Amino acid sequence: MPTMVFPRVIATDLDGTLLDAGGLVSERNRLALVAAAEAGVRVVVSTARPPRTTQHIAEQLPCAAVLCGNGSLAHVPGDEPLVRAISPETARSVVEKVNAELPGIGYGIETGTDFFHDADYHLEPWLSGEWVREVLEDTETLLRRATPITKMLVRSRDMRVEELHETVAAAVGSLAEVTFSGSYSLLELSAPGVNKGSTLAMVCERWGVAAEEVVAFGDMPNDLAALSWAGGGYAMASGHPDLLDPALGLRVAPSANEDGVGRVVEQLLAER
């Protein structure tokens, strides 16, 4: 594997990557990223989470940018927030095509500030009902009520997430980016071309940073676009098997519970 240049940007996913099993930033990971920032590296948090569940974590880190919703939302201090939403027309087409293949599927929508879902949506075990702004009786009402659509969620009660992904991705084609970030039967859909990689690239372009000057960490298929774009893409050893396929050419970091991000960053700092 070719030698990397010392990075000017380090981008990290949160769940399963920077955070431990308890959902916390370890002191080793935090100190490593602080040291990187002190060395002039811009630290970027890039997550599937919405801002309301990301802010308290980002505040613990020296963040130069926070990317949420798989790249549909970007906050760079001093710049106007970037919102890359799904148009209502596209969302309706997506629902029509998915329903033709999977009748009775449930839909949720993240607007960047709130979460809404329809009556068929089976709430995830980790999602408190207190975080739900409103439950709508049907999907059409959901689409009218929940705007902007920064992320559309497709939820099955019984299909394996990999099978659900294959079916939905084939149904919607180029209408939306389809990915997932967990083992539950839950898919995350963004506007065409919107993913962690494309938004990270946009932010880095503003800073005049090239892909080869970026190191990125992630553990799930929704991280692949960023890991593939960055000059140094690290899949976590504890991550999804698809990311650990040698054919992808990604580097491998120790698991999240072993402070994998911190260990790699320490090494990069030591070798500069």
Of residues 74 and 125, more confidence is placed in: 74
Q: Would you tell me how many other CB atoms lie within 10 Å of the CB of residue 59?
A: 9
In this prediction, residue 48 has a pLDDT band, given cuts at 50, 70 and 90, of very high
Query: Residues 257-266: what's their mean pLDDT?
Result: 98
Which pair of tokens denotes residue 207?
Answer: 């800073």
Percent of the chain with pLDDT over 90: 90
| Contact yes or no for 218/227 (Cβ under 8 A) | yes
Domains of the chain: 9-83+194-271 (3.40.50.1000), 88-190 (3.30.1240.10)
Query: Residues 1-20: what's their mean pLDDT?
Result: 90
Q: What is the pLDDT of residue 2?
A: 62
Q: Would the pLDDT of 200 be above 70?
A: yes
Side by side, which strands form the sheet with 42-46?
82-83, 73-75, 63-68, 42-46, 9-12, 214-218, 232-236, 251-253
Q: Would the pLDDT of 134 be above 90?
A: yes
Q: Would the pLDDT of 187 be above 90?
A: yes
| Contact yes or no for 67/73 (Cβ under 8 A) | yes
In this prediction, residue 193 has a pLDDT band, given cuts at 50, 70 and 90, of very high
